[in-house]
């Protein structure tokens, strides 16, 4: 059985792929505050791109996941199953959406499919990064006993 604390943790984790890129976008808009050129600049730009190219599909998937987590999720095992499948689903949606956009724009289904596949791979890799971060943070919090033991 998921506790309210468990649900709140996962609801917070669902917000990270929108909140972190939004904060990175603010840094870019406030050039006086942020003028990075090193590795941190690359991370900021990757986050901004993830919001630009995958934000709407992720937002739709996250809205469903929030509904499911609040209304239907029974235990942590079910949450983990959804969590580990979600990057593939979002990546597929992102890839298909951008394949259609590029095919319409260029009139070439081959280049549209190729670019859609690249966007899908990017979304999947970034999605699994967020999943890994969620798993690690959850393990650290459980170890420090700030969260109740995971129900299985």
pTM over 0.95: no
pLDDT in tens, 98-151: 999 999 999 999 999 999 999 999 999 999 999 999 999 999 988 886 555 555
**Domain assignments of the chain as residue spans, ordered by start:** 4-143
User: Residue 43 — pLDDT band, cuts 50, 70, 90?
Assistant: confident
- Name every residue whose Cβ is closer than 8 Å to that of residue 137 and which is 6 or more positions away in sequence: 13
Share of the chain above pLDDT 70, in %: 88
Q: Which of 21, 74, 66 lies closest to 48, judged by CA?
A: 21
Q: Encoding tokens for residue 116? A: 């859609």
């Amino acid at each position: 059985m998921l506790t309210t604390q468990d649900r709140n943790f996962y609801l917070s984790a669902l917000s990270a792929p929108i909140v972190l890129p939004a904060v990175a976008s603010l840094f870019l808009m406030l050039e006086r505050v942020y003028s990075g050129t090193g590795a941190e600049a690359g991370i900021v730009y990757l986050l901004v791109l993830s919001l630009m190219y995958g934000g709407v599909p992720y937002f739709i998937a996250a809205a469903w996941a929030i509904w499911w987590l609040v209304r239907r999720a029974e235990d942590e095992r079910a949450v983990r199953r959804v969590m580990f499948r979600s990057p593939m689903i979002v990546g597929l949606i992102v890839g298909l959406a951008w394949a259609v956009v590029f095919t319409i724009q260029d009139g070439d289904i081959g280049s549209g499919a190729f670019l859609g596949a690249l966007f899908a791979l990017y979304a999947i890799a970034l999605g699994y990064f967020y999943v890994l971060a969620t798993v690690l943070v959850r393990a650290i919090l459980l170890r420090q006993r700030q969260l109740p033991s995971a129900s299985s």
